[in-house]
Each structure stands twice: as structure tokens, then as C-alpha cells.
Structure 1
């Protein structure tokens, strides 16, 4: 190998940022390959990070930079004189958590062109629809919004007759030298800084850049000319000289342009302990998907910042809020929210007008605030206690964004002098905002509280808070907990503003009321926790009900949802053999023990392996008053399983997402993937309205340990989480390859679990001279149980019937509405609804089959009849 030594370049560069416009994506699912098995599952769309979007620099980074692209594990910065690539190499999996004293490995590569035009014009090409917004720090003058993005950046005339074009593909940076006819490619000379050694791989022709943190490769250049409808490849290779790298190009047609296309591959830096994760997902009225989570960031390295948004370059986690179009074809916007320390988005909600609400946690003393109930990070007597891992306590935050993500409507801290986290958020029809989480502060801000003091005198309690619609005041804020450890993980609100929460409690004296299970399953204490479910009155001054839910081992409620009838469903994780069940799909916990290495220091290598009990997911629904179980079931196989997200469709069928360990006996049905990838994989499952059967259950790939789930009115599921498995499946993705074999990427996906599960049946009862056929198609996005029936009639009499369209709707709490259109010659159609009985007072809920008898005819002719069986439940 030929080699060239360079001095090492040092700079403090830490952490990761979401690629493209903010959401590092791995699409979630692809149909399982056909194996003579019918499947009713359907993947409607997948959403994935678009590769290498370039932002115009409008003040969000150093002024020398004209365009930048941030990605998972890298930041690319284009100045007129050089391209700067900052790369993060996280610590190997299992290493100690990073702190300010243990910074991660990093590398900074700089490429400049020797003897080139010092002031080339940089222009963005291939304009993209997505915009980027930065609310970093608490100085609004430094916030930046509606920043345009581009797919390509062109440097004009870097050498006489030679342009340079940057673009990206699948986390590989590509740059084309475009040599005009008659110009000499020998002018091109690239100098690299930040490497310890440059060398050519004589087998592949790659240029290998050795850094202190790892290897970066520049693939053998693709050199070509465009001909009459085809591409002619020209032989060529890198040439390393004493101070720079150039190209040797074989003979080519100098009357045509020449393209030299190197590809810089830096995927070895993308893996280990640093992650990007999607934690929450919500849908707006137009079907657009909005996701929140957190990502680690890199800033422009190596120079004093010129008016930066963020005053330090240190490693920070930043909240991202990213929105996709409903069909997943484009990114609408990405917004970054945070300060100079660690910030994390945990949950998201969208109201009927499209305004976006986010909650999470922040260590930053300069987190962006506006119209704040609490404008500052809370401290006690001027001292932050206890000091968090970044030197500050953690407060929850609550923020509202405009529908396009470009305006911060309000943003506030929420917390006391110790640590808080906002874990769940919901918004009601009047745009009131509900937040839940955990706090160990005795001075958490309380208002109109059901429980005004911390139950443990400083231990962790759950909290629930309600803001008015503009976030300017608290309607109520209350502790919820006993004398030990209590955490609320999720919140949902019903139509009249009653908030329900779930989580875990170790407190034997956790407050209960009208409880299905009034006592802790194990008695409380430090050893185990029970799940809990609690519902507050609309004004927050009292409990409607509160109950333990668990057995004699550890039980955790992870997610909660409320259906249109006010019934609360939760999912989570249980280790208990005696978790309460009713009408269960799976009545008993799988007793399998999980094998793992014995954690005994100095143990001999032949020591038998250790075993521990595994957990199952659970799914449970309470009656409306919380005093009884409607149903409850274990759900899992022979390894660790847990439910992490839950949603309820318009028919009252519960869907859950979660994680399962590698096991062959996990319950699946009509899957689009029954293949296990990696040690853990995610799943999506849909239950019947009574919880006793599964309608659909499939592996998805990836991991959704902190993921979110939403369902639209048509029953299609939207999922976000983190995908770490190399075998993570995709379908029609923008980017078909994960950025790293080890690094979890956030993903978003849209899945149609059951396209045809309404199970309506048609029975013609017409006269003998009329033959009748029926077909129906679902009305996506309509009310519960809505569908359309097209009835085709063939009449052998003198009068001819045309096609009639009959819409039958089961509206929650309303009437059954029927109408008919059509009929020949203006005669009009007669629709009698029904022939038997009066349905004007009926209320149909998912669950029970109800037969409706309809009659249809023409003017004075005797109507003929057909039956429609609708899945519904009579209250």
C-alpha cells in the first residue's frame, strides 16, 4: 500500500443528530414473502428518513457554513473553502454511560481543494418541500424557522471548467466533479485533514482514511460520460501525492462532459451506545403523522462559533418534532427544541386544529420558553438538588407548536427543585392540555389538587396537570402516590375532560377508590411494583376511581387509551404468575425461564447458566366506573414480552405494540412477517372487542421499547420507535438500508392490520322475479362501523331498477342512518328503515352482532328486503 501521514486534528465533537430533516428513519414492515398463506394484513405505507437533505445556513450554525446536513452520527458542513465532516463513534454496547468527563470518540475530517477557487458560488439545487425550525436556547432572537432544504449543493467553477456537486444516498456522501468538455481533470487535488494515515486499498481501489477513532473509506471513483441514452464507464483511480490526492483518468472523449463520482462511506462510526428514538406519535385531521423523540447532536467543529444558536458544542440530546405527509411521500417539517444540556421528547398530541403539543424532560437552564407558567428550571435556595448527571436537576416541559412547526405558541418548565419527567400528554376537544409524569420534588407546583403533598415526603410520586388552552395557567396540578415509588407513564382523556393515567407503584398506601383491586398484589415495598389505573374528575379535585392492577411480582402499566364509551384499556408488562385475568385470550403466564450468563465475578467458565423468570405482556380493559375488569389477558411466548403502546379503533378493538424476545411460540395470526430478527423484535397485535381472541398479530422487526401507537378512523395503525435489528424489514422505502448495523434509528410506519374485518353479511329476501347481489367497501375515516353497500338488482318485470347506493352508519350514541339514491325515470326510491321495530333510540357499540332489516322499492311497488349484520353492541 502507498501511504501518506497527516497530523491528527483534535476537536471536541460529541453525540448524534437525526439525519435528513430530523427523523432518522427505518421503515418498519414489508409483507412476508408468499408461502401459500393468505394474509389480511396490509402495509399501506412506510416512512423513512430521506438521505442527506441540506439546510441553508440561516444562523443555526457557524457563519462560515453555507449549507449543512445533520445525520445520525454525523454532521456535514459546507463552506466555500472546505467540506467538514464531523463523525461520532459511540462507545461499544454495554460500556458505562457517557458523562461530561467521559466524552465519546469522535473524528473530524476536512477536505479542501488545493489551488481551487477560494470564493466559489454555492447554490442549492433540487429544492425539497420540507422546512426545518430551530428553537434552541431561550433567546428568541437566535431561533430560526422555515429554513429551506435541498437535495443537492453545487459549487460553481471550483477549478476552471469544473463544478463540484454534493448530494447523498443511503448515508453515503457523494460528490461529483463535473468536468466540462476540453477541461483537464488533472487540476483536481484534494487535501485531507484529521487523518493519521491515507492509503490505497490495492484490492478494491478504495481510498482509506485512518483516524484516531476508526476507518473512513472513499470508494473507488465511478468515472463516466453520458452518451446517446446510455452511460459509458471510464477507467480511473485515486493517486496519492505528497500533499494531496488526485485522480488518474484513462483516455476519454474530451468533447463531452466527464463525471468523477467518489463515495464517502462512514457507517463504521454509526453504532454502539448512541441512539435516536421516536417516543410518541399523533395524527392530525388531514392524516399527517407527527412524531417526537430525542436525538443526539453534532455542531460545527474546530472554529469559535460566530453567533451560534447553541453556546457550547458539548454533547446534547435535543427534542425533535417531525411531521410527514399522510402518504409518507415527503417530510413536511422538522423542528428541534432544546437548550445547552440534555432534553428529551417523550409524548405528543395534536388537537383538532392541527396544533402540536409535546412533553418530555429537560436538564437545560436555557430551554426555550414562551408564555410560560414556569419560566425557569426550578432550584431550591439557588442550588439545584440533587444534581443530575449533567449538573442540573431535570424538569418536565410542556410546549405547543403551530400546525406547521414554525412557531412556538407556548413553552414552559414544569417541576420543583428536584427531578421531574413529563411522560404523557393528551388534549381534549376544547384544546385543554393534560400532562402526566413523575416527580420527587416536595415543591412541585400544585393547583386545585386532589393530593396536595408528595406521598413519600420526597420520594417519587406521579403527577397529573391540566393547562388551559393557551398554556398560560394551570387548571389543576396534583400529586398521585403513596409512601414509596410511584411513576405515571401515560395519560388519556375522555370527551368530558376526565384524565386517566397508568404506571407503576410500590406503595401499599397508593390512593384507591372504587377499586377493582384495592390492595397491592405483593403488599408494596422496595421489591416489587404493581401497575395502577386512576381517573380524575374533570376539575382534578377528586378521583373517580383508582385501582391497583397486578399480582405478587413486578407489574408495570406502560400505555393507556380510552374508547368512545369511556372504557379504559392499558397494556404493559407482568412477571406475576397470578396477574388478574378475565375472558382472557391467554389465561396463564408462560412459565419459561430465560437463560443468561451468571453475574458472579470470578466464576469458573463451566458454571451452569443462570435463569430468571420472563415477563409477558398484558392487556386489560376496565368497566367504565373502574370497579371491575371487562377483560384482561396475558400475551406472550417463552421469552420476555411487554406491551409498550396501545390504541383503540372505531369499533372498540384494542391494538397494542410491544417487544418480544426471540421465541417461536409467540402468538401470531395473519402476519405479514413471522420471522424473528435479532434478540428482540417488535410486534403489533389486534384483539376482538371482548379481548378473547386476536384478529391479527405479527412481528414487525425493530424495537419499540419507548415507541408510540396511533390509529386513524379507518383502523390503520401508525407506529414509531427505534429500529436496531440488521434484519429490520422495509417496503417501498425512501432509504432501504439502515444507517448502522448497531445503532437504533427512529422509524415511522403506517400499517393496515385488517382490511376486511367488519364481517358484515348480506341476505337477499326479494321477490322471485328480482335477483339481488350485494357488495360493500369500507368508508375510510368515517365514524365507528361506517361502511357503504352497493346493491345491484335485476328485475324481470316491466320496471327496471338501477343500482342503488345505501349508506348504513352505526354512530356511537346516535341513530342508524340510512339513505338511498337512484331509481329510473325520476320515480325515486322508497327506503323503509326498518320494517320491524324503531331504531331511533338505539346505540350501537362494537362487540355484538345486531341484525337490521331494511326494505327498498319503487313508489307503490312492494318493497323487497335484505338483511345487514352489523358488528355492534347494544347498551
Structure 2
């Protein structure tokens, strides 16, 4: 063990609790009752004021790890901070990280992240490094304005393997509503760490030298638990392309399957099928059952972009396939009502398009397809081709929040790609193997409202499309030509990665820029994309061929990409993952880092989407730590954080594991997310007097202003929750203003509605075990009574049987269920 002392510090600083929690702890340790304590309050942080003159230290936990910030107020001197490490065997600095060697191993403090803040310039990153002398550590800070507040913040991350003993290749990841991380990959056999009661606990099989199933794991928000883990697949091969979770934690999986009807026992077939089919499945929140699943396809390959490299086709560029993993380019998203939307590809002339859609007939050898599916994933609402006479691919899509229109992006080689192009940015195909495109589609699938090409005379592809809070679309992708730089700075002119903000009617660029190393070859294959509430841009991707030797996809690699002083990894073997954050209007690089090991096979994905949440946190799936006995000796290990559920690659030195990575970049500003609770259950409707607890579900503000909508005074507090009693009948709009003066947006406002009534319905039920004794069949009798004059209807009730099976809408009649 070792201790850290602040040399010359104030021995009696004022200790201020920060962000009190509503719960408390009791400590009954040992037999001496005088040392017991009960009702001990819990705080999210504590601040030690004036540890040094005008310097505070704030302690808090993040991802179950202790974290601390030095806050240097105007007039304070960073030179006053001196930390002495007693009991450590040795201190050293490597790659800007502080390494503390002890008798039982090494402890690593990541490179210090520091920024200064003022009300005019906002948050500005300041270069900061450790300064080591024997057993004492100081900080060296460059270009700090002494009139502003400086924060020195060592960053921690969450990174884990799945621990699969079978080879598993990372494809896709998405956040859960509680900060959990869902990850999906392709698994090559038995040995995936399935959990008890999971939907599919055995490997379904496959064909060829490496038969594969989909593997899905749900990690807890800190990566320390495997909440569930399951196979998904039949007798053929399956590949996961994209994941998305609904607000209840039910996971939608979209991918391709060669298993036909054996993909899932409850799956409904849509179309004749044959070759590869598009599959969409919705898991219950606990992973024990499928709420619904569909197998969608014509007689030829569906869900494959150009060539199925994963299923044995030759590697290398071909038409719209520009990167390794592009054979799996497609995406699934959801709207606020729970409807499911898919963008993908088809080679089938009899793909199951529905009547009345904007394109009912196939256009070329490969077309894009766009589909809308009902919330339970049991029926196709509509499906349409989208494409011209050459190859076309619908890779990404997003729902515009203020109009509900569907924006679809991807790549096309067709000079006659469909849609009205009058007044659009680019009305004609620009040449090369392909152009990018964006189309605006009516939500009912009846029309393409607008289309624009986006491209140069070389290959161009749109790999991401997102909206800001005002409904402006942004696109991200790669180019081989002179992409337009408009109203923005080019981060290395002539680079091959682009970001552009468009007018919603696709008539013009608001701004457009490129970033990279100034190389006409792409540096990376883009994966995830976000525009946050402050209009900052987030992008993840991977670059460099995964093996030594010539790259069949002709990429330049990530070496030389923009890196900031607070990077997790600042030096690369040119075969790493890469994360970048650009400031609003692309005015500067806020953050840039590499991620991965050095040596052996490079970090990559075999295809599929990963996602950021609205707080700017990345949920990334990676093919990680692959083939350690392969190309080149590992000189820097793959980064894994302490205490995670998968600390080692379960497939060993000759195998690969999915790496699940969650990183918070802390640039997205303050957010408000009010929600009403009765006890610990979400509930916004009740009878007079209605006592409710209102909580901010985001919890990243320093101050809150609650307005209850019933004429009572507003409350200003530093607590994320308040209690309130409504004494009159009505619908009351609750307003929450969340404030953090150091954030990019200062404050955020959100609303929720409370409904207070007097017509109480009294819920009651009776459960009857049905024979025979060994059968787990039950009858649930509804004994509820309705308020006077308001009888129950045929769908007034929802039965949830607690086993992950689909909920049942019903009236007052009994309902039977077998467990």
C-alpha cells in the first residue's frame, strides 16, 4: 500500500458535500457498538476547499473508481501543488501517464486532462503534464490564463472483453437507457459466456470453415457485470449489423442470416427468402425471450453490400465496398413511438416491397432498401427499394425529430438515382466508383421528398447522418477527391474524411470541412457519429490494415491524425481505433486519441454500427487483442480497466474477442431529464393528494430550478430530486432547468407532465395454478374495480408476467400464461 500526501497543504480545509443522494448507509462493523454508525448520508462528491491558497480538490467516483480534480481559481498557482507518494517502490512517467510501482503490481494514473473556463471563451483545453522528482509529483501547465479557473482532471475509462472462449469478432454496440452497454459480434462456436435463462444457450451451428452465430452481451454501466449474454442463430451463418435499445431496455438486433426459418423459432417469414436474408429481432430487457422477430428477403442475397467477405468472398475494394467490414453496412433506428426503421441492401428482384411505396420495382444489380417495422417487431409496416440502374447502398438513416421524415444516406453508382433533385446541392452524379447521397423520405414510405448527390469525381460515401437540436442534418463520410471546405477550417487540407452541415431541404451546405492527415487515401473506416446538444461533432473509426503487408483496401492508417494533450493514447502503431471531437461549426479539435494495443493484429470491426449516447459517451464494439501470436509482437497491451467482467481475452493468444469500450468525453454540456417516480417506480399519474418524487435522470448539473406547474413557488436546489404533493385535479407541466456555468450550453430546460385525478381504479388480481401439477400453467384473474361511470375497456390492462415474454393487452377477462 502507499499513501499520497499534499506537501505544505492546509491541514484543516473546509469540506463541502456535493450533490446529496436520497439514500444512506449503515455501518455495523465489528462487536464494538460505539464504532457503529447509521443513517450516514451519501454524496456524489466532496470538495476540500483551499487545500492550497485558492486551490480546491474535488473527490468523486466514476465507473466505480475514485477520481479527483484540482480546481485552481483565479489567483491560485498550480506550482503550489506537490504530491508525495509514500510506500511506493518506484514512480515513473510513460506516455504521459504516471506509473506507481508497488510490491503487488502497478497502478496507473492516466495523463492529466486540464481545461480553463471563462464566460466568454467557454472551456479551453490547456496542455498539462506530470513533473516527477523522486517520490514527489507536480504539474506543468502551459499557456494558462491566471484570470480564469483551471481544472486538472485525470481521465478514466471502461474497457472489457466479453471473455468468450470461442473466437468472437466485434461488430456493433449501443447504449441502454440505464447506461448499460449492449455489444454484438459473430461467434465461431461453443464457449460464448451465456447466462442462465438466456434466450439461446447453445451454439446454433453454421456452414463453411468458420460457422458463426450472433453473440449478444449486455454489460452493466460500469462493465463490472454481465447482465445477460446469449447466442442468436440457426443452422447457417449469422452476422449482426446494428443494435438499438428502446427506453425500456428491449434490444433490437438487425443483421443477416443464412439459416432460413431456423434463424429463430418464433420468427415470421416476409418474402420468399433464399441466400442471405435480412433479420430483425427484438429481445426482452432481460434477454430471456424474443418479443418478435422477422426474416425478410427475396430469392437472392439481402443484407449484403456487394460481396459477402465475412462469408468467404475475396477481400478488397469493389464498387460501393470501400473498407473491410463494408459488406455489413446497414443500420436500425427507432422513433419515439417505438417503430423500427432499417436501411440496407438487396440483390433480389422479388424483395417483399409493400403496395403504395415510392419505389416498387428493382432498379439495378444491387439496390438499397428502406423498411418500417411495428414496435413489437412482428410485422412489416412498409418496405421499398431505393436505387437506380447501377449499384446502390442505403447504409445509414435517421428520423428528423421535428418532422418525422426519414433521412437516408449511403453510396450510389447510379446516374439515375431516384428522387427530386431540383434545387438540391448536387443534381447529377459526379463520377468515380460512387457518390454519396442523402434522400428525404415521407414517414409512410409513399414518396421521396428530396434527393441530393454528395461527391467528387472520385469515390465518395456517406457513413453517418445525424441531426442537431434544431433539426439541421449533418453528414459524415469519406472522399477520394477535393471535398468542398465551406465556412469552416480544414483540419489538414486534402484530407479524406469529411463532415458537413446541410440545409434541411438539401439545397446548400451551412458548413463543410475535412479532417485527417492531408492524404487522398482515407485514414480510417468511420463507425459511430454524433452531434450533441452543443453542436459538437463526435466520430469514431479505425484505420490501417489489420495485418502486416499490403492493404487491399488502400487506406493510409491513423498515424498523424489530430491528437490532443489529454489523449488516452498519443502514439500509434498505425493500426488503431481513433476517436475525435470537433467543436461547434468545426472551429477546432476538442479531442483526439488513439485506442488499442501495439503489435499483433490491429483493432478494427468486422462491420456494423456503434453509437454515442446524447451525453457524448461512446459505446464501441471492437475486434480486440486478436491473434497475439500473429503479425508482430505486442509491445503495448490492449487497455482493460480494473474490475471489469472480462479482464482477459477468453479465446487465448490465437483467438479474438469483442472489446466493449465506453468513454465519456465530457463536451456535451449540461442536460435536463425530469421524470416522476412514486417510490422507486416511474409513475406520472395519480389521485389527489398525489405525492411524487421528481428526479433529473441525467444528473450532470450543478444547480436545478424546479417549477411544478400548479402555482406553488419554484425551488432552486443542488439536489437532482425533489418531493412534491399535488392537491388539486389537473394536468401539470413540470419544468426543470439544469445549470452548469462551466458547460458549453450553461443550462438546459426540459419538461414532463403530471396527471392528477379523482377517479381511482382499484387494481387487484388472483392467481390460480392450473393442472397438471408438473405444468407451469397459471390463470391470472383480474379483480380490479373501475371508478363510477368509467368502465374498463377491452384493452385497459397490460399483463407483464415477469419472465421476459411479450406483454399482453387485455380487458377484465382472465388470462392464462405458461412459464
What TM-score do the two structures reach when normalised by structure 1?
0.51
CA contact (8 A) 2:234 2:264 kept: no
- Partner residue in 1 for 2:582: 687
Stretches of structure 1 that go unaligned for 5 or more consecutive residues are 1-28, 52-69, 74-275, 301-306, 380-392, 591-614, 760-778, 790-805, 810-816, 823-839, 846-851, 855-865
Which of these two proteins has the greater Rg computed from alpha carbons?
1
* Aligned-pair CA distance for 1:743: 4.8
- Partner residue in 1 for 2:486: 582
CA contact (8 A) 2:206 2:234 kept: no
- Partner residue in 1 for 2:477: 572
Any idea what the Cα deviations from partners look like across 1:343-379, whole Å, max 9, x if unmatched? 1011011111221111111111243346645267614
Aligned residues: 497
Q: 1:873 to 1:620 in 2, by over 3 A?
A: farther
**1:492 corresponds to 2:406:** no
**1:712 corresponds to 2:622:** no
CA contact (8 A) 1:706 1:721 kept: no
**1:787 corresponds to 2:701:** yes
Q: Which has the higher contact order (CA 8 A, sep 6+)?
A: 1
* Aligned-pair CA distance for 1:843: 14
1:631-710 correspondence runs (5 A): 631-637=511-517, 640-642=522-524, 643-661=526-544, 662=557, 664-701=559-596, 702-704=603-605, 706=607, 708-710=609-611
1:126-525 correspondence runs (5 A): 276-298=168-190, 310=204, 315-369=210-264, 372-374=267-269, 378-379=273-274, 393-421=275-303, 423-447=330-354, 448-456=356-364, 459-495=365-401, 497-513=404-420, 516-520=424-428, 522-523=430-431
Any idea what the Cα deviations from partners look like across 1:316-345, whole Å, max 9, x if unmatched? 111112101111111011111111111101
Any idea what the Cα deviations from partners look like across 1:802-829, whole Å, max 9, x if unmatched? xxxx5499xxxxxxx974259xxxxxxx
**1:528 corresponds to 2:433:** yes
Stretches of structure 2 that go unaligned for 5 or more consecutive residues are 1-96, 98-107, 113-128, 131-139, 142-150, 193-200, 305-329, 545-556, 597-602, 627-633, 672-694, 708-712, 719-732, 750-819
Q: 1:368 to 1:548 in 2, by over 3 A?
A: same
2-side partners of 1:585 and 1:781: how far apart? 37
Any idea what the Cα deviations from partners look like across 1:114-166, whole Å, max 9, x if unmatched? xxxxxxxxxxxxxxxxxxxxxxxxxxxxxxxxxxxxxxxxxxxxxxxxxxxxx
RMSD, matched Cα:
3.9
Any idea what the Cα deviations from partners look like across 1:174-225, whole Å, max 9, x if unmatched? xxxxxxxxxxxxxxxxxxxxxxxxxxxxxxxxxxxxxxxxxxxxxxxxxxxx
2-side partners of 1:716 and 1:683: how far apart? 14
* Aligned-pair CA distance for 1:732: 2.3
CA contact (8 A) 1:394 1:419 kept: yes
Any idea what the Cα deviations from partners look like across 1:82-108, whole Å, max 9, x if unmatched? xxxxxxxxxxxxxxxxxxxxxxxxxxx
* Aligned-pair CA distance for 1:664: 4.8
Q: 1:505 to 1:475 in 2, by over 3 A?
A: same
* Aligned-pair CA distance for 1:868: 11
2-side partners of 1:781 and 1:707: how far apart? 29
Q: 1:649 to 1:870 in 2, by over 3 A?
A: closer
2-side partners of 1:633 and 1:430: how far apart? 35
2-side partners of 1:671 and 1:468: how far apart? 44
1-side partners of 2:152 and 2:457: how far apart? 39
2-side partners of 1:367 and 1:331: how far apart? 27
What TM-score do the two structures reach when normalised by structure 2?
0.55
CA contact (8 A) 1:428 1:494 kept: no
SS of 1:475's equivalent in the other structure is: strand
* Aligned-pair CA distance for 1:619: 1.9
Any idea what the Cα deviations from partners look like across 1:691-724, whole Å, max 9, x if unmatched? 2222111111232463543333433222222225
CA contact (8 A) 2:233 2:264 kept: no
SS of 1:532's equivalent in the other structure is: strand
CA contact (8 A) 1:658 1:705 kept: no
SS of 1:579's equivalent in the other structure is: coil
2-side partners of 1:400 and 1:562: how far apart? 25
Moved more, 29-38 or 629-638: 29-38
- Partner residue in 1 for 2:679: none
Q: 1:317 to 1:663 in 2, by over 3 A?
A: closer
Moved more, 324-333 or 661-670: 661-670
2-side partners of 1:513 and 1:449: how far apart? 15
2-side partners of 1:808 and 1:587: how far apart? 42
2-side partners of 1:41 and 1:461: how far apart? 49
SS of 2:587's equivalent in the other structure is: coil
**1:619 corresponds to 2:502:** no
CA contact (8 A) 2:283 2:290 kept: yes
Q: 1:497 to 1:353 in 2, by over 3 A?
A: farther
* Aligned-pair CA distance for 1:446: 0.8
Q: 1:310 to 1:655 in 2, by over 3 A?
A: closer
SS of 1:690's equivalent in the other structure is: helix
Any idea what the Cα deviations from partners look like across 1:225-267, whole Å, max 9, x if unmatched? xxxxxxxxxxxxxxxxxxxxxxxxxxxxxxxxxxxxxxxxxxx
CA contact (8 A) 2:343 2:408 kept: yes
Q: 1:675 to 1:411 in 2, by over 3 A?
A: same
SS of 1:406's equivalent in the other structure is: coil
SS of 2:453's equivalent in the other structure is: strand
1-side partners of 2:608 and 2:743: how far apart? 39
Q: 1:376 to 1:546 in 2, by over 3 A?
A: closer
SS of 2:262's equivalent in the other structure is: coil
2-side partners of 1:359 and 1:869: how far apart? 35
Q: 1:298 to 1:371 in 2, by over 3 A?
A: closer
2-side partners of 1:346 and 1:412: how far apart? 15
Any idea what the Cα deviations from partners look like across 1:656-701, whole Å, max 9, x if unmatched? 0012445653112243234333332111111222222221111112
1-side partners of 2:618 and 2:608: how far apart? 13
CA contact (8 A) 2:491 2:513 kept: yes
2-side partners of 1:707 and 1:444: how far apart? 22
